[in-house]
Amino acid sequence: MIRFLVRRAAWFAFTVWAVITIAFFLMRAVPGGPFSSERRLPPSIEAAVEARYHLDWPLWKQYLQMLGPLNLDERGWFGDSTRVTGGVLAADLGPSLQHRDVTVNEVLAQSLPISLALGSVALFWALTLGLSGGLIAALWPGGKLDHAARALSTLGLALPNFVIASLLVLSCAIAFRLFPVAGWGSAAHLVLPGFALGVPFGAYVARLFRAGLLEALAHDCVRTARAKGVPRARIVWRHAMPSALMPVISFLGPAAAGILTGSLVIEKIFAIPGTGSHFVASALNRDYALAMGVTLVYTVLVYGLNVLVDVAYTLLDPRIDLERDA
Amino acid sequence: MSREQSSGGGWFREADYDLMLTELERSAPTSLWSEVRRRFREQRAARWSARLLMVLALLAFFAPLLPLPSPAAMRLAGAPHAPVAPWSEFVNQRYEPVYGPLGALDRALVATRQKLFGKTQLGSWLGTDTKGRDTLARILWGSRTSLLVALCAALTSLSLGVAWGALAGLSGGRVDNLMMRALDVLQSIPTIFVVIFLLSFLNAPSAALGGARLLSREQVFFLVIGAVSWLSMARVVRGQVLALRSAPYVEAARAQGASLVWIVRKHVWPNVLPVVGVYVTLTLPAVILYEAFLSFLGLGVEAPNVSWGVLAADGAEALSPLVSSWWLVAAPSTALAATLLALGLVGDGLRDALDLRRGER
Amino acid sequence: MSLLEVRNLRVRFETARGWVQAVDSVSFDLDAGESLALVGESGSGKSVTAMALVSLLPRPPAVIETGEARFDGRNLLALGERELRRVRGREIGFVFQDPSTSLHPLMTLGEQLTEALRVHEKVSQRVARARAIEALAEVGIAEPDARVDSYPHELSGGMRQRALIAMALMCRPKLLIADEPTTALDVTVQAQILELLRELQRRHGLAILLITHDLGLVADFARRVHVMYAGSIVESASASELFARPAHPYTLGLLRSVPTLATSLEHPLSTIPGSAPDPTKSVHGCPFRPRCGFALASCESSRPPLLPPLGLQRAAALLSAQGSRRSACFESARVAAEART
Ligand SMILES: Nc1ncnc2c1ncn2[C@@H]1O[C@H](COP(=O)(O)OP(=O)(O)OP(=O)(O)O)[C@@H](O)[C@H]1O
Ligand code: SF4
Ligand SMILES: [Mg+2]
């Protein structure tokens, strides 16, 4: 168990490091810098600004400073004695190049909770719709409800989240004025965006869950349970459900990744000041620090959730031998 | 596939891949093709979807030839115009040729169109956007982007993906291991973020190149689509080849001294083909969605070119509680949704026809 | 009165290829504490017969056309789902063929064992657990108090089958239906499991309906044997009679395909030629005719009824006091005569 977790953690750390490194060198390899393209600054000022953000340092030094663990601050090498470490390893992402006088940490601290809230609401919708739809469809396979649920899930899978979002805005918010269409502030602001973001995943969950339930209900061990006189409700709940949930659980990792990606679009449509909006903007503006921060956050989230789902999966299925499978 | 590496890429290809592997485990060797074709035709939804897709592809290809307004011609006064029903204005004479840079074939098509129809163009059946550009024309021209993207993805996954997977599966051992590791690495990068990086960095005008771009945005775009679309296909093909290699009847053939080429032609290829087919039908909607997604974020095709993602984004932008230009949202959304739905149904139908989903009915 | 009286049970499946008469007019009796074997090759309808009794068949496609199954005075086939549920597990226990798939892979043995108890009797978790451990011990599982918390994959095939038997007996049923309980196991374990069943039967006065395709198992297990072919019972006799003097060509074929000490060069093992009839086609005459070495022209025109074998009554009466043997063959006497040589 411990070995399993350690290995997962090592993989995780390696991936994060690889992504940071690739992102860093990709950003620097491309011509143009944060202050070179649009705003044509006088050379002297540009030099001063670049010096302020250490853009005049050699690349390896910038990389080390960004990564930590050495704190190569203004005075070069090891900096002052108060802070020995810095950079990513100390969770310090430095100042934003684009937003003056704001650190990347501050930008993230402000926007990340919003994105996470949005993601949670989306996940909630996905699971609620998906599990209930799949359950209803599987309880009466071939029936009217089953057909309806399957048609809906096919539709939900086919509709991109931004289409759903636009349609929602069009119908719900403008025509009926039920929920706010845009902006941020109250929980009600999250209902529509979360729904739009969650629906495609809900559709997929419904499919997975229906197929899983039907397969589980046809399994020999359900016949054993019936022969014991176990009521149908308990068979569905206790016997079929756990097996049917396994594929859903393993889908949660990719789903979380998809929801995070999807939030880029949804935040744009609903004008939600989340992290997603910073992602594209920072890349376009060559805000190296912010882009790195956002990439890092997303990688950690996507990977962290995946590892979490993997661990949960392995724990839930007693047949998986952790030592061997790790 | 080790599960830890499965988080990159489009979520839905990954998940579908898993689902498909379970289906494959249940599937018997493929039945006769004629049988498959018959069973496919028996499915009404899939059949109609296939027809719809065919019509859409034709419309997309011949869009320059149709008597449409040109997609970039603006009519600012009073824009956006609401849809005009075909029966109140079927055609008008306001056609002006305003096109972006066109390829040779498209130029010829446009020239033919001008000869055929002159100044005649269809009325704004689907309204115009905020700049007075005709929605129907833009949707049809936009569908060409989707078609191109689909072609690009299909070609890379059919060539690179199949070749990679088949090679890995057939060689086995260390070569296989190495090739799969490479896939793992490629797939473990959260693609969407790299894509955004690539797009935003690679195609920005650079001072070093004298204001020119490294690659045009479209080039980058297709590069990216191609690069991400073959990974899962390689995995699927490899898995199938590997399973077939150790199938008893293939081992028997090998024991009797059948050559590798013969085995591949007689046993492996016929059994891999349906899987490849099904997988293409899974890949296409995913990349079309991907394109729309990137375009929506402003990272896809650039004006004056259009794509459904761009149209949907414009529509979403035009939405406000005051002016509801519903057609700007509804029209591209419907086009996109109908196409994706049709592709999904064709895929489902194909899977049913191949009997890969017995457990799911 | 018998514990279980099955009369004229007919079950068919409605499939895409037309309907399949899986069970055709099956009748038998089983007394309390008695053991009865249902023997036949694969697809002969043994499992369907057993599962029809407690409505475990998937419906659709299964349809129970006619029949009656009196168990303790009630007709099981007329009971509603709620009453049936009270019979299943509490009065009739079931053991299935494949112990590796019949246990739930994600539930501990303990939970699966106590489930029946907690469904049928109001017992506390603690009592149920204690009884589960007791039951595991009774079926001969070592360290039952540790095993109660294991998952099925941690057990060997034989242990899983023992656990399944323990599970079926948790509520002390009067009847145990064991559907090929040993088919998936290797030979030594088979013998152990059968021995265990016999032991439990003695101890609890359990009636056992043993389903198997292996006549060899039946010999010293069941008092009465019913041989099934293509959905019908073709021969019914006490075990000793059946082995001494089979009166149906199919039984004779089965017996000759069982290896015994007597198998030698003069009496080589044989197999029954041909295969079971296509169940979607209804047949005229004797269903065994295409494979029968005794067939005469008359066998083609009408179906032989299940009757005391003609010309054998006297011999049968000598062999068994009950004299209740029956065979569905026009040529029973010839078959019996052949069997003796
Ligand atoms: N769910 C079903 N759908 C259709 N036909 C079925 C179904 N279950 C059983 N049958 C048919 O019923 C007949 C009897 O099957 P049954 O399972 O009773 O055989 P069996 O004697 O138990 O054989 P085995 O020794 O293989 O278990 C078979 O011919 C089979 O085709
Ligand atoms: S009735 Fe005729 S065909 Fe049928 S088993 Fe007897 S001898 Fe054979
Ligand atoms: Mg059976």
Of C244, C275, C292, the position where a domain reaches its end is: C244
Is residue B9 scored above 60 in pLDDT? no
Express the helix, strand and coil content of chain A in percent, nearest 5 each: 70, 0, 25
In chain A, pLDDT over 70 holds for what percent of residues?
A: 75
The residue of chain A nearest to residue C121, with distances taken between CA atoms, is A229
Quote the crossing angle between the two packed helices B135-156 and B308-318, to the nearest 10°: 140
Whether C321 is covered by a domain: the verdict is yes
Q: Which of A47-61, B36-50, B303-317, C15-29 has the lowest mean pLDDT?
A: A47-61
Return the structure tokens found at A300. 């950690």
Higher pLDDT, A126 or B183: A126
pLDDT, average across residues B181-210: 63
Residue numbers of C between 239 and 298 with CB closer than 8 Å to A: none
pLDDT at res. A308: 80
d(CA A57, CA B10): 37
pLDDT at res. B159: 87
pLDDT, average across residues A110-125: 89
Which of A17-21, A167-171, B226-230, C87-91 ranks highest by mean pLDDT? C87-91
pLDDT at res. A69: 59
Higher pLDDT, A233 or B98: A233
Q: Are residues C337 and C256 in the same domain?
A: yes
Whether C313 is covered by a domain: the verdict is yes
pLDDT at res. B55: 92
pLDDT at res. A269: 81
Is residue C238 scored above 60 in pLDDT? yes
pLDDT at res. C310: 61
Angle at Cα C268 formed by Cα C265 and Cα C273, nearest 5°? 155
Q: Are residues C41 and C61 in the same domain?
A: yes
d(CA C40, CA C48): 12
Confidence of residue B205 (pLDDT cuts 50, 70, 90): low
Whether A55 is covered by a domain: the verdict is no
pLDDT, average across residues B303-317: 80
Is residue A76 scored above 60 in pLDDT? no
pLDDT at res. A15: 77
**Cβ proximity of B250 and B267 under 8 Å:** yes
Is residue A45 scored above 90 in pLDDT? no
Of C132, C155, C170, the position where a domain reaches its end is: C170
Phi-psi region of C18 (alpha: psi -120 to 50; beta: other; left: phi over 0): left
Whether C209 is covered by a domain: the verdict is yes
pLDDT at res. B10: 37
**Cβ proximity of A83 and A159 under 8 Å:** no
Q: How many CB atoms lie within 10 A of CB C71?
A: 22
pLDDT at res. A322: 54
Ligand index nearest the alpha carbon of residue C298: 2
State which residues form the domain around C303.
248-260+283-341
Phi-psi region of A299 (alpha: psi -120 to 50; beta: other; left: phi over 0): alpha
d(CA B228, CA B291): 12
pLDDT at res. A53: 66
Closest CA to B4 of A14, A263, A205: A14
Q: Which of A24-38, B273-287, B310-324, C323-337 has the lowest mean pLDDT?
A: A24-38
Query: A290 touching B, CB under 8 A?
Result: no
Confidence of residue B19 (pLDDT cuts 50, 70, 90): low
Return the structure tokens found at C193. 């499991």
Phi-psi region of B173 (alpha: psi -120 to 50; beta: other; left: phi over 0): left
State which residues form the domain around A245.
107-325
**Which residues have a Cβ under 8 Å from the Cβ of B133 and sit 6 or more positions away?**
B69, B71, B72, B73, B74, B75
Whether A24 is covered by a domain: the verdict is no
Is residue A170 scored above 80 in pLDDT? no
Confidence of residue A78 (pLDDT cuts 50, 70, 90): low
Confidence of residue B11 (pLDDT cuts 50, 70, 90): very low
Question: Max alpha carbon distance in chain B (Å)?
Answer: 79
**How confident is the prediction for chain C on average, in pLDDT?**
80
Query: Under an 8 A CB cutoff, do A224 and C116 touch?
Result: no
Query: Under an 8 A CB cutoff, do B19 and A303 touch?
Result: no
Confidence of residue A124 (pLDDT cuts 50, 70, 90): very high
Type and span of the H or E element at C318: helix C313-319
Is residue B309 scored above 60 in pLDDT? yes
pLDDT, average across residues B93-104: 77
Query: Under an 8 A CB cutoff, do C85 and A219 touch?
Result: no
In chain A, pLDDT over 90 holds for what percent of residues?
A: 4
pLDDT at res. B202: 63
* Amino acid at site A282: S
Of C170, C194, C212, the position where a domain reaches its end is: C170
Whether A273 is covered by a domain: the verdict is yes
pLDDT at res. B322: 61
pLDDT at res. A17: 83
Residue numbers of B between 287 and 326 with CB closer than 8 Å to A: 289, 292-293, 296-299, 312-313, 315-316, 319, 321, 324, 326
Interface test with C, best of A223, A224, A241 (most C CBs within 10 A): A224
Return the structure tokens found at A4. 């399993």
Residues C83-101: tens digit of each pLDDT: 888 888 888 988 888 878 8
Locate tokens 């097996």: which residue? Answer: A243
Confidence of residue B18 (pLDDT cuts 50, 70, 90): low
Return the structure tokens found at C257. 């395909």
Cα-based torsion angle of the residue sequence B105, B106, B107, B111 in order, rounded to the nearest 10 degrees: 110
**Cβ proximity of A192 and A169 under 8 Å:** yes
d(CA A10, CA C109): 36
Q: Are residues C188 and C324 in the same domain?
A: no
Specify the length of chain B in residues.
361
**Cβ proximity of C269 and C259 under 8 Å:** yes
Q: How many CB atoms lie within 10 A of CB C240?
A: 14
Residues B119-141: tens digit of each pLDDT: 777 777 787 877 778 888 888 88
Q: Are residues C147 and C78 in the same domain?
A: no
* Amino acid at site B257: G
Confidence of residue A131 (pLDDT cuts 50, 70, 90): very high
CA A154 to the chain's CA centroid: 24
pLDDT at res. C198: 86
C279 CB near ligand 1 (under 6 Å): yes
Locate tokens 């049809």: which residue? Answer: B140
Q: Please provide the DSSP assignment of C32-59 as one string.
A: TT-EEEEE--TTSSHHHHHHHHTT-S-T
Is residue B360 scored above 50 in pLDDT? no
Closest CA to C234 of C3, C45, C11: C45
CA B189 to the chain's CA centroid: 22
Q: Are residues C197 and C124 in the same domain?
A: no
d(CA C279, CA C12): 10
Q: Which of B140-149, C212-221, C271-280 has the lowest mean pLDDT?
A: C271-280
Q: Over C116-183, what HEC string results?
A: HHHHHCCCCHHHHHHHHHHHHHHCCCCCHHHHCCCCHHHCCHHHHHHHHHHHHCCCCCCEEEEECCCC
Q: Are residues C320 and C235 in the same domain?
A: no
A98 φ/ψ angles, rounded to the nearest 5 degrees: -100, -45
Is residue A39 scored above 60 in pLDDT? no
**Cβ proximity of A208 and A248 under 8 Å:** yes
Spell out which residues of chain C touch residue A238, defining contact as CB-CB under 8 Å: 107
Q: Are residues C218 and C321 in the same domain?
A: no
Mutate to test the pocket of ligand 1, among C15, C24, C48 (most ligand atoms within 8 A of CB): C48
Q: How many helices (H) and strands (E) in chain B?
A: 15, 2
**Which residues have a Cβ under 8 Å from the Cβ of C146 and sit 6 or more positions away?**
none
pLDDT, average across residues B92-118: 80
Spell out which residues of chain C touch residue A224, defining contact as CB-CB under 8 Å: 94, 96, 102-104, 164, 167
Is residue A326 scored above 70 in pLDDT? no
pLDDT at res. A127: 92
Which of A7-11, A27-31, A106-110 ranks highest by mean pLDDT? A106-110
For residue A58, the SS3 value is coil
pLDDT at res. C230: 85
ipTM above 0.90, yes or no: no
pLDDT at res. A128: 93
Residues C112-165: tens digit of each pLDDT: 889 888 888 888 888 889 988 988 888 888 888 888 888 888 888 888 888 888
| All structural domains of chain B with their residue ranges | 3-30, 44-66+74-80+135-354
Distances (CA, A) of A142 to A130, A136, C77, C169: 18, 11, 26, 36
Is residue C269 scored above 80 in pLDDT? no
Q: Output the CATH code of domain B44-66+74-80+135-354.
A: 1.10.3720.10
pLDDT, average across residues A262-267: 83
For residue A5, the SS3 value is helix
CATH number of the domain encompassing residue C235: 3.40.50.300
Neighbours of ion ligand 3 (CB under 5 A): C 47
For residue C232, the SS3 value is strand
For residue B165, the SS3 value is helix
Residues A238-256: tens digit of each pLDDT: 888 888 888 888 788 778 8
Residue numbers of B between 27 and 66 with CB closer than 8 Å to A: none
Whether C276 is covered by a domain: the verdict is no
CATH number of the domain encompassing residue A185: 1.10.3720.10
Which of A46-55, A274-283, A308-317, B334-343 ranks highest by mean pLDDT? B334-343
Q: How many helices (H) and strands (E) in chain C?
A: 14, 11
pLDDT, average across residues C273-285: 70
**Cβ proximity of B233 and B165 under 8 Å:** yes
d(CA B316, CA B312): 6
pLDDT at res. A177: 63
Return the structure tokens found at B226. 């191609």
Specify the length of chain A in residues.
326
* Amino acid at site A32: G
Whether A182 is covered by a domain: the verdict is yes
In chain C, pLDDT over 70 holds for what percent of residues?
A: 85
d(CA C93, CA C176): 5
**Cβ proximity of A239 and A222 under 8 Å:** yes
pTM here is 0.79
Whether C271 is covered by a domain: the verdict is no
**Cβ proximity of C146 and C132 under 8 Å:** no
| Ligand 2 mean position, distance from CA C308 (Å) | 15
pLDDT, average across residues A127-154: 86
d(CA A208, CA A249): 10
Type and span of the H or E element at C226: strand C224-229
Closest CA to C95 of C154, C182, C156, C219: C182
pLDDT, average across residues A172-180: 63
Q: Are residues C207 and C235 in the same domain?
A: yes
Is residue B194 scored above 80 in pLDDT? no
C13 CB near ligand 1 (under 6 Å): yes
Task: State the total domains in chain C.
Answer: 3
d(CA B250, CA B270): 13
**Cβ proximity of B237 and B272 under 8 Å:** yes
**Which residues have a Cβ under 8 Å from the Cβ of C319 and sit 6 or more positions away?**
C240, C241, C244, C245
Closest CA to C214 of C206, C222, C203: C222
Please, which residues bridge with residue C14 across strands? Answer: C19
Pairing mode of beta strands C74-75, C62-71: antiparallel
Whether A116 is covered by a domain: the verdict is yes
Pairing mode of beta strands C175-179, C207-212: parallel
Is residue A178 scored above 70 in pLDDT? no
pLDDT, average across residues A115-131: 90
Whether C274 is covered by a domain: the verdict is no
